[in-house]
Structure 1
């Protein structure tokens, strides 16, 4: 295939990609919302039927569940909650630094919830063996008094009445890591065999992100490999076990993680389990240590670290380094193209350390990336400007050889060679930016650092779409489009178009019209003309940080194209607009 056909094919494929996006926004999006609504209605009906059936799960409210056990308060700079003395488990936890919405009055994010309440979520620990060991109903006693806080651990004790004395010491740092040290002393006359265990359990279906680019479910690094199982696959396949020395495992949401990290030199049996109990799906990530034999008068111990908090990259990396937990920052879903995603995140976070605003960091990232691509882009826009200047000659060749396509192609390529033009150079900046686009999209979507990160003005969350919409004149008219009967969902869905997506559409149109029109097929030309509109709708539903990047990138593109077209004295749409609306006349192509 010759070079011009390759270019045409590339442009056509991009146009088809735009059509697929439009199909997703206008057809599949509303259809998916309708499907979700039907699923929620069906789930409510199933739950009501289950509650009416014998043996079905029944729930109490969270506060009532908390009152079911004496408690020891947890108070750290990052966490608040309590330890349940019944069971000696971590089952009540909120993240102080993160709120459920961008509102300052929004409640903090809840991570753990006590058993008995709906969507219970907790970490549990203990021993397994042929004798009575502490369980979920065991009443532990606090030795001493005071809350659990950094530098102030708590000690819990329990005697099984048959010669075994258990002690549990729980400590916590100033971030999200608990350390649970269990010890058992054998005061009986016979040896006892016990094995330590730890588990993270989640009861019920969590609310999942509405995209497939995020991993949520079971996660861990076991036997030297990163293990990831989505909730859907987890429920389907049931139990999955791994033998490992050290490592870690847990349950992850988009931004939050509960994970167990045993001693990194101890062999364990790790398991991801999924069961249905009284109509409720129960997900567990647990690990069991080696069997220990306690002679009369002997003691045995086991220590496990419990991470319960926000997946902040620097925090995870810090624990990975300090505690030797392998691949712990891979709890953030970097994706298959991590070799792009990680450097882009690192660069964004480094810039943010100086400027303090992720929106400004994105603009500076754009400047750095476009600066790195400047020589390549200059060559590309030089080639495109020359091609646009030669457009009349190419058109004359086509007319002269209208019935001889092969001769048209031959003479066109001879013209390109004579003028030292490479037609494929025009596609290179787009090709180079494709991995950057997807990597930045991933970074904005998965990293906690971008959650609720403001820019300027109305952009208060760079990880969310532009909240403004032309329907109410970008907030100038005092009404919410979503509240309009019958059509509110459509106005706040497919027709929700913000300021930055519109700026993207304008800059894309300018860049497109400053490029030579390589396609001749009428259908392809029509697709190319509609591309700015298609992408405008697409970017209206993507994180606003991504649109900020792409608008800034387009501005650089247009500026470089404008410079090159002036250098080679080629007419362009900017001069045309200036002439029409500023100079009072119509622009005329510059001739040499």
Structure 2
């Protein structure tokens, strides 16, 4: 009975995981294709360059998110221009750091041209760098801008600023100035560190005769819907920690709702995020600000903005306001460092650690430490899996000890069940007396499995969402642990010159995983129920095909975990003198075959 209970629990867990994996396989992948097609259609339907809608998050009269640059070169307005043409619309100040390269537009003073130095589109070291920001007017425009609200003749996207130099790099800040000719002189100081943080300090001096009330703002704008993975375990879209709560808004939902505002927040951040890349505004953590997410719903344009409180600028006086911008790769150590250095509320939640963050974050910490000692992320996965197994070994040992005791009293349990076949209450009482007499805990076999469920999902989450596994090699043909195993059984692992459909992608590591799962099933007696028996027989085959399209790192983990589980169960059962069903089951399988 205990064996049947454990088997039913295992079946429920495996089926739950199967639902998760199957949902990603049959729904997640098709959704990506649908979103890619929708993105292409919306791009084709976008308004001509220079005729995009006004801001969706700033008050009426604020600078438009996609207005034309002042006196641009003659270009066609029928469609977005090339990236190069959009860059040529304004004089530029170069950005040169160990992590970023790009430029700032002198007209409009936008940060709108950024590429990531250490990240490329593919594992090929000659492939293009990841492009994060794209200037307005080009396809998939994506940029950050800053400014003032509340006065007349304020600087906007058409303003010609005067730069202090021609390059921005760590230790060499850039200062931009603009005199509106009506008594207000604007200064923008931009600093950048060696990773992904810009510090933008806007100052205003009032040389006029009347006071002026102004608000400073920072805004991240993206034109067009990016292709997202569509997996429910990962948020991609608008994000922020404002009003003392993590806010996660998908691209789909903001297009429907148009806007989401937060009247007052003290501390926090907000921006746009994808799986590996993000842009986030970090206002002064000691001053209140309002925040907003927005979209026009059609073109589409997505915006996140932070707006400071009103400040009065008396004649002869000046004010300043600082907003930081994170723009780059979601590296765990970098994000944690910024959160600690500037006291940013829950900035670590920029990375989607999930519900089990109290397990996921420590697990990443361990993996990161092991990786820096070993230098291979694949080997790190193997070592951390062993550490987890060692951590739970005492529980597993108790579980199998309990199962051995249960097996020893199995004849007595069957006798009790026969004796009180018509009286379930007395049957249960007799069973409990037997457990007490033999010092058996009937839940001991289930507890280790239940405890390991959140650990399994936490490790799954770490391997799935952290950028550290992206383009990380293992050995042999695995050049990228974040991508699926490139080999395929159905073209004889590359010998036949064709590419099978995605549903038939079955690489070497998924096959290894399926074999290890099958062996693990054979460690226990076969179920007596014919339905369960059939399900357990087909489960390794189903999971093998489902995991064929999963990142190789996850498949390697699963295969290695199965191997360790088989070895662990074998050693414990041998130590306890319990019959190991593996050999009889294997003989029976091949005899039937």
> For the superposition of Structure 1 and Structure 2, which TM-score range results when normalised by the shorter chain?
0.7 to 0.9
SS in 2 for 1:280: coil
Question: Does the CA contact (< 8 Å) of 2:293 and 2:303 recur in 1?
Answer: yes
Q: Secondary structure at the match of 2:289?
A: strand
Match of 2:9 in 1: 10
Distance across 1 between alignment mates of 2:111 and 2:24: 43
Rounded to whole Å, the distance in 2 between the matches of 1:69 and 1:289 is 28
Write out per-residue CA displacement over residues 103-144 of structure 1, whole angstroms, 9 at most, x where no aligned residue.
21211111111000111111111111231010001111112x
Is 2:469 the counterpart of 1:450? yes
State the shift of 1:11 in Å: 4.0
Q: Distance in 1 between matches of 2:461 and 2:211?
A: 55
| 1:444 match: secondary structure | helix
**Offset from partner CA, 1:373-397 (integer Å, 9 cap, x none):** 1121122233445666788x59996
Aligned to 2:207: 187
2:561 paired residue among 518, 529, 553: 553
Aligned-pair CA distance for 1:323: 1.2
CA contact (8 A) 2:374 2:380 kept: yes
Give, in whole Å, the separation in 2 of the partners of 1:259 and 1:219: 8
Structure 2 residue runs of 5 or longer lacking an equivalent are: 53-77
Q: Secondary structure at the match of 1:349?
A: helix
Residue pair 2:185, 2:205 contacting (<8 A) in 1 also: yes
Q: Is contact 1:358-1:453 (8 Å) kept?
A: yes
Please give the alpha-carbon distance, in whole angstroms, between the structure 1 residues aligned to 2:283 and 2:49.
41
Cα distance in 1 between the residues matched to 2:339 and 2:21: 42
**Residue 289 and residue 570 in structure 1: after superposition, are their counterparts in 2 closer, same or farther (change >3 A)?**
closer
For 2:147, the equivalent position in structure 1 comes to 126
Where do 1:405-424 residues align within 5 Å? Answer: 424=443
Counterparts of 1:553 and 1:39 in 2: how far apart (Å)?
34
Q: Counterparts of 2:357 and 2:124 in 1: how far apart (Å)?
A: 32
2:167 is paired with a residue whose SS is coil
The offset of 1:433, in angstroms, is 2.4
Post-superposition offset of 1:578: 9.9
Distance of 2:535 and 2:503 partners within structure 1: 20
**Hey, what's the Cα distance between the residues in 1 that align with 2:562 and 2:341?**
43
Q: CA deviation at 1:418?
A: 7.5
Q: Judging changes above 3 Å, is the alpha-carbon distance between structure 1 residues 55 and 186 closer, same or farther for their aligned structure 2 residues? A: closer
Distance in 1 separating the partners of 2:472 and 2:45:
42
1:334 offset after TM fit, Å? Answer: 0.8
- Cα distance, 1:577 vs structure 2: 9.2
Give the TM-score normalised by structure 1: 0.85
Supply the distance in 2 between the matched residues of 1:51 and 1:301 (Cα, whole angstroms). 36
Q: Select which of 530, 537, 562 maps to 1:529.
A: 537
Tell me, in whole angstroms, the C-alpha distance in 1 between the residues paired with 2:419 and 2:536.
25
Distance apart, 1:80 and its partner CA:
0.1
Alignment of 1:287-436 (within 5 A): 287-384=306-403, 424-436=443-455
Q: For 2:105, which of 77, 81, 84 is the aligned residue?
A: 84
- Corresponding residue SS for 1:474: coil
1:479 maps to: 497
Structure 1, residues 389-444: CA drift from partner, whole Å, max 9, x if none?
Answer: 788x5999699899989799999989877876655544444323221221111111
- SS across alignment from 2:152: coil
Shift of 1:516: 3.5
After TM superposition, give the deviation of residue 94 of structure 1 in Å.
0.4
Q: How does 1:266-305 map to 2 (within 5 A)?
A: 266-276=287-297, 279-305=298-324
RMSD: 3.4
Query: Which residue in the other structure is 1:210 paired with?
Result: 230
Contact 2:208/2:315 (<8 A) preserved: yes
The aligned residue for residue 590 of structure 1 is none
Quote the Cα distance in structure 1 between the aligned partners of 2:284 and 2:328: 20
Q: Which segment is superposed worse, 343-352 or 428-437?
A: 428-437
When structure 1 is superposed on structure 2, of 493-502 and 8-17 the one drifting more is 8-17
- What is the alpha-carbon distance in structure 2 between the residues aligned to residue 500 and residue 39 of structure 1? 29
Q: Secondary structure at the match of 1:464?
A: coil
Pick the aligned partner of 1:225 from 245, 249, 252.
245
Q: What per-residue deviation string (whole Å, max 9, x for no partner) do you get for residues 235-287 of structure 1? A: 221222211123211111111111111211222121112124xx411111112
Of 50, 62, 67, which aligns to 2:83?
62
The farther-off stretch of 305-314 and 73-82 is: 305-314
Partner Cα distance (2:438, 2:261) in 1: 65
Corresponding residue pairs, total: 564
2:546 corresponds to 1:538: yes
Q: Secondary structure at the match of 1:553?
A: helix
Stretch deviating more after TM superposition (563-572 or 334-343): 563-572
The answer as to whether partners of 1:21 and 1:534 remain within 8 angstroms in 2 is: no
Structure 1 partner of 2:184: 164
Where do 5+ consecutive residues of structure 1 fail to align?
483-487, 587-592
Q: What residue number does 1:197 align with?
A: 217
Relative to structure 2, which stretch is displaced further, 395-404 or 131-140? 395-404
Rounded to whole Å, the distance in 2 between the matches of 1:248 and 1:131 is 29
Contact 2:47 2:299 in 1 (8 A): no
**Residue 126 of structure 2 aligns with which residue?**
105
Cα distance change of structure 1 residues 77 and 494 upon mapping to structure 2, 3 Å threshold: same
* Greater CA drift, 105-114 or 558-567: 558-567
Contact 1:96 1:108 in 2 (8 A): yes
Greater shift in the superposed pair: 437-446 or 47-56: 47-56
Once residues 572 and 78 of structure 1 are traced to their aligned partners in structure 2, the CA distance between those partners, rounded to angstroms, is 55
